[in-house]
């Protein structure tokens, strides 16, 4: 604070005095009220220091006891209840076994008593012959064999959960980051048709066990790579390129209906969506230029049609093409149009996100909307952070952040709806086959832990980017 040369009005007493300016609040104070003002500032500083000390103490206390008591109590109670249920069930089963065994022995004993009475009667009457003796011998042998036979009791295990399962759902950071060096989790052994190879993987699906289902465009098949497996397993197709019910032709996407363990395939070049369930095959939608697939929480199936520039929603089993829920107004770049849509995503509110490939943007169509809105890209074809180039895979997380494969820029972008530009999540290090690079990526998936999986198409491999916790 510096002394003023002229008298001015004091901010506190409103009198003309020699005043001193406070640079913090830009007010002028006389000497008396300047000291008073300074004292008030000191008191506020002391309050802040006290709050700081209290917060520091609270952190130290939580470091000593970092757990949430109510959650731990809930887990302990679940453990106790579950053990009690298991112990009671085991007790009931033991009692059933003992009771059944005792009943069996009693039945054999009754037969033996009946036979004993017959022997006494024959012996008492002293009238018997070889036939009577053979009968008695055979009866005794039969009873003896019954007693030797193991009791036909088996244990049946129900695949349904007997004890309610619990798990911990950790809060996810709004701005997750991933390791930039990928792990190749499928193939990476060059282009080919062996089970340890892939040929132009396009779409993926990750199940709850981190098994990866892959639609191979040029091998005309769907393969499953178990977690940490060295090679895949053939799930569908693999019988050469063709349009027979057991063949595929350029599949682009695959989803797994985990309710009935069937797989649904966008059989692109056969212009059909087909369902495989074990050895049963069924065409769900025919004569559709399908590319991307999605399923909502109510079991509705969504399919993008790259030729008609639309997305349709249908109910599985109704054997029809359903209704248009995005696009359908001809090819174009208006908000009610699409141009070569590829992958799609449907959120909890049944809003549809569409990778609008030739418009280099991602569109969001709210349920029942007549037009969409741009949520990523839309600033022409390019590699700036406000642009996309031929987008493919798209996923939206619980924080409404949009992840999109920026195919021709060899990167994955994250966009927050309403922002002017996105940010690079992985890739973006030039086209190549290093573990930090991608080459024309297509499909995009997350597992339940938030790890990121990319169909690295021209490198013929599936790359996993681990989340940084």
Give tens-digit pLDDT for 452-467: 999 999 999 999 999 9
177-468 has which fold? Neuraminidase (2.120.10)
Task: Say if residue 135's pLDDT is above 80.
Answer: no
Concatenate the DSSP letters of all residues of 367-433 into one string: TT-SS-EEEEE-S-BSSSTT-BSSEEEEEE-TT-EEEEEEGGGTEEEEEETT-S--EEEEE-S-BSS
The answer to whether 313 and 302 are in contact (CB under 8 A) is yes
Q: Note the pLDDT of residue 168.
A: 62
3-state secondary structure of 455: strand
DSSP letter, residue 334 = S
Count of all residues that appear for the chain in the document = 469
Give tens-digit pLDDT for 275-304: 998 778 999 999 999 999 999 988 899 999
Backbone angles phi, psi at 99, to 5 degrees: -65, -45
Give tens-digit pLDDT for 4-58: 457 889 888 998 888 888 888 888 889 899 899 999 989 988 988 888 888 888 8
Q: What is the mean pLDDT of residues 210-230?
A: 95
Ordered by start, the domain boundaries in the chain are: 8-60, 93-169, 177-468
The answer to whether 456 and 438 are in contact (CB under 8 A) is yes
Report the alpha-carbon distance of residue 87 to residue 79 in Å, rounded.
12
pTM: 0.67
Give tens-digit pLDDT for 136-155: 777 778 778 777 776 667 67
Instruction: Provide the percentage of residues in the chain whose pLDDT is more than 90.
Output: 56
The answer to whether 288 and 267 are in contact (CB under 8 A) is no
Give Cα separations from 38 to 1, 14, 31, 230, 291 (angstroms): 11, 18, 10, 72, 71
Report the alpha-carbon distance of residue 135 to residue 114 in Å, rounded.
13
DSSP letter, residue 248 = B
3-state secondary structure of 62: helix
């Amino acid at each position: 604070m510096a002394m003023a040369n002229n008298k001015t009005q004091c901010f506190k007493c409103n009198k003309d005095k020699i005043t001193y300016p406070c640079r913090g609040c830009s007010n002028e104070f006389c000497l008396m009220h300047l000291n008073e003002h300074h004292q008030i500032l000191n008191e506020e500083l002391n309050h802040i220091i006290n709050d700081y000390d209290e917060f520091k103490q609270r952190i130290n206390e939580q470091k000593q006891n970092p757990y949430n008591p109510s959650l731990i109590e809930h887990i302990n109670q679940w453990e106790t209840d579950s053990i009690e249920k298991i112990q009671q069930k085991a007790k009931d089963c033991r009692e059933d076994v003992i009771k059944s065994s005792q009943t069996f022995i009693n039945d054999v004993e009754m037969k033996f008593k009946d036979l004993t009475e017959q022997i006494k009667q024959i012996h008492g009457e002293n009238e018997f012959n070889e036939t009577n003796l053979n009968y008695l011998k055979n009866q005794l042998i039969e009873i003896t064999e019954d007693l030797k036979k193991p009791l036909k009791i088996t244990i049946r295990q129900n695949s349904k959960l007997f004890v309610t399962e619990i798990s911990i759902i950790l809060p996810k950071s709004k701005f997750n980051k991933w390791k930039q060096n990928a792990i190749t989790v499928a193939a990476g052994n060059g282009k080919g048709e062996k089970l340890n190879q892939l040929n132009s993987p396009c779409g993926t699906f990750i199940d709850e066990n981190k098994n990866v289902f892959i639609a191979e465009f040029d091998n005309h098949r769907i393969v499953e790579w178990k977690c940490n497996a060295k090679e895949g397993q053939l799930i569908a197709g693999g019988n050469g390129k063709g349009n027979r019910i057991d063949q595929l032709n350029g599949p682009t996407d695959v989803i797994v209906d985990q309710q009935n363990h069937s797989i649904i395939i966008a059989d692109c070049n056969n212009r059909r969506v087909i369902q495989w369930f074990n050895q049963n095959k069924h065409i769900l939608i025919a004569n559709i230029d399908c590319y991307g697939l999605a399923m909502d929480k109510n079991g509705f199936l969504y399919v993008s049609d790259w030729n008609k520039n639309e997305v349709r929603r249908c109910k599985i089993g109704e054997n029809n093409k359903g209704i248009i829920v995005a696009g359908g107004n001809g090819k174009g770049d208006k908000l009610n149009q699409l141009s070569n849509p590829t992958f799609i995503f449907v959120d909890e509110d049944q809003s549809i996100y569409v990778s609008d490939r030739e418009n280099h943007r991602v569109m969001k169509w709210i349920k029942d909307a007549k037009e969409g809105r741009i949520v990523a890209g839309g600033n022409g074809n390019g590699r700036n952070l406000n642009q996309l180039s031929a987008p493919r895979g798209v996923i939206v997380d619980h924080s409404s952040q949009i992840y999109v494969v920026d195919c021709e820029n060899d990167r994955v972008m994250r966009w927050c709806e309403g922002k002017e530009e996105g940010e690079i999540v992985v890739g973006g290090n030039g086209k190549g086959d290093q573990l930090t690079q991608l080459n024309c990526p297509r499909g995009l998936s997350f597992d339940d832990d938030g790890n990121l999986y990319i169909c690295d198409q021209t490198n013929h491999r599936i790359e996993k980017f681990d989340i940084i916790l």
